[in-house]
Structure 1
Amino acid sequence: MDRARRKCYAAPLMTDLALTIIPETANDAQAIERLHERTFGPGRFALSAYRLREHVDHLFELSFTAWVNTLLVGSVRQLPIAIGDVPALLLGPLTVEPPFRGRGVGKALLQRALDDARAQGHRLVLLVGDEPYYGRNGFKAIPKGRVTMPGPVDPRRLLVAELVDGAFNDVSGAIRPDWRYARKS
C-alpha cells in the first residue's frame, strides 16, 4: 500500500511523534475493525448508529485514518444518511488507540472529516456523542422529538453540526440510511 501518493494531512501531535491523517482505503478495513474491537468491544453492534450502518457503507473519501509512522492510531468514518428527505452525514465511529488519547488525534480526525465534508458540499453532519467534547467543533444538541433514530438512543446525545449556516432550519423526521448508497446484496 503506497500511502505517499495519497493526499496527506499532517497534524501536530502534542509529543515529538508525527501524526499523519489520510483518507481511508479498503486495505485499512481489518486494522480499523481490530481498533473498533479493542476500543468499543462487542457491544458496539447493539448501538443505534450500527442499525444505520447495516445497509449503507461509509464514504471512503470522507473517512480518515491517523498514523504515527506505520502504526494506525485512530480512525473516523462518515456515512450517508437522510433526516426525513434531507441528505446528511453520520459521523462515527471516531476512535483513538488508548495510549494516544488526549494528544490531539481525535480532534485532528474530526476536523479533517468536517473540513472535507464541507469542501465536498455537504451541509449537515449528525452524530451520537458527548456534547462537551463535540461541541468544541460546532456540534449542538438536537431538540428532543425533532428527529427519530432507529433503536434506542439517548436524545441528549443526538448532535448536529451545520456545515452551512441555517442548514438544519426546518429539518426534522426519521434518521435513515441514504438508500442511494445502499449495498448491493
Structure 2
Amino acid sequence: MDVSTEQPEDWHEVELLMDLCFAPGRTALSSYRLREDVAPVRDLCLVLRESGVLRAAIRYWPVRVADHLVLLLGPIAVHPTAQGEGLGGWLMQESLSRARDAGWERVMLVGDAPYYSRFGFARLDGVEMPPPTNPDRVLGLELRDGAWVDITGPVSRAIGPAPAG
C-alpha cells in the first residue's frame, strides 16, 4: 500500500469513492455546509493506493468553534472490497499523527462514538454543530492535553487560509 497526500487530480476519483461508500445525499449534511468555499487542509488529506488503485481516503477541513481553530475530520472512506482490512484505522492514526506534528491541537468529527472512541474521540458537550446534527455524534479528540477544555459554542466555517492551531 502506498500513502500520499491527495492531489487536485485525485479529486474526482476520491469523490467517486465517497459516493460509493456513503448514502446518496451525503453532501446535504450540515458538515458539508462547513466545507463550502473553504480549502481543505491539504497536508492531511491522504489517499491510500494498492497497485495504483484507490483503496481509501481521508479529508480534513478547518472550522471554528467560537474563536478557536479546529480540524474537522471527514469524510473518511474505504472501498467496500477493502473494508475490514484496517485501512481506515491506519489512515486515521497516520493523519492524526501528521496533524499533531503540524501543530494542530484539536480535532472534531460527526460520527459513531463506539467506532471513533477507539481512536480517543469522545462526545463534545457544548460544541454545537449546525442542525440537524445529533449532539451525541459530535466527537472530539485532543492532540495536545487540555486542548478542548472550556471550548464551547457553535461550529462555523473557517474563512481564509488554514494555519495549524
State if a TM-score over 0.5 links the two structures. Answer: yes
Shift in Å, 1:41? 3.6
Q: Distance in 2 between the 1:114 and 1:89 partners?
A: 10
Q: Could you tell me which of 76, 82, 95 is aligned with 1:100?
A: 82
Q: Distance in 2 between the 1:36 and 1:67 partners?
A: 15
Q: Distance in 2 between the 1:57 and 1:37 partners?
A: 20
Instruction: State the TM-score, normalizing by the size of structure 2.
Output: 0.94
Tell whether 2:133 aligns with 1:153.
yes
Q: Per-residue CA shift, 1:114-157, capped at 9, x if unaligned?
A: 001000000000000111111111101112xx021123101111
Q: Distance in 1 between the 2:106 and 2:114 partners?
A: 19
Indicate if the aligned counterparts of 2:129 and 2:135 stay in contact, CA closer than 8 A: no
Superposed structure 1 runs of 4+ greater than 2 Å apart: none
Indicate if the aligned counterparts of 1:51 and 1:151 stay in contact, CA closer than 8 A: no
Q: Distance in 2 between the 1:176 and 1:112 partners?
A: 26
Tell whether 2:145 aligns with 1:169.
no
Does the residue aligned with 1:167 lie in a helix, a strand or coil? Answer: coil
Paired position in structure 1 for 2:161: 181
Q: Per-residue CA shift, 1:19-54, capped at 9, x if unaligned?
A: 222111111101001111111143101111111111
Tell whether 2:110 aligns with 1:136.
no
Q: Distance in 1 between the 2:23 and 2:133 partners?
A: 18
Does the residue aligned with 1:165 lie in a helix, a strand or coil? Answer: coil
Shift in Å, 1:57? 2.1
RMSD, matched Cα = 1.2
Q: How does 1:1-185 map to 2 (within 5 A)?
A: 19-143=1-125, 146-181=126-161
Q: Distance in 2 between the 1:99 and 1:53 partners?
A: 28
Unmatched runs of 5 consecutive residues or more in structure 2: none
Q: Which moved more, 1:146-155 or 1:24-33?
A: 146-155
Indicate if the aligned counterparts of 1:129 and 1:158 stay in contact, CA closer than 8 A: yes
Q: Distance in 2 between the 1:125 and 1:89 partners?
A: 5
Q: Distance in 2 between the 1:29 and 1:171 partners?
A: 33
Does the residue aligned with 1:179 lie in a helix, a strand or coil? Answer: coil
Structure with bigger gyration radius: 1
Does the residue aligned with 1:164 lie in a helix, a strand or coil? Answer: coil
Q: Distance in 2 between the 1:142 and 1:165 partners?
A: 15
Q: Percent identity?
A: 40
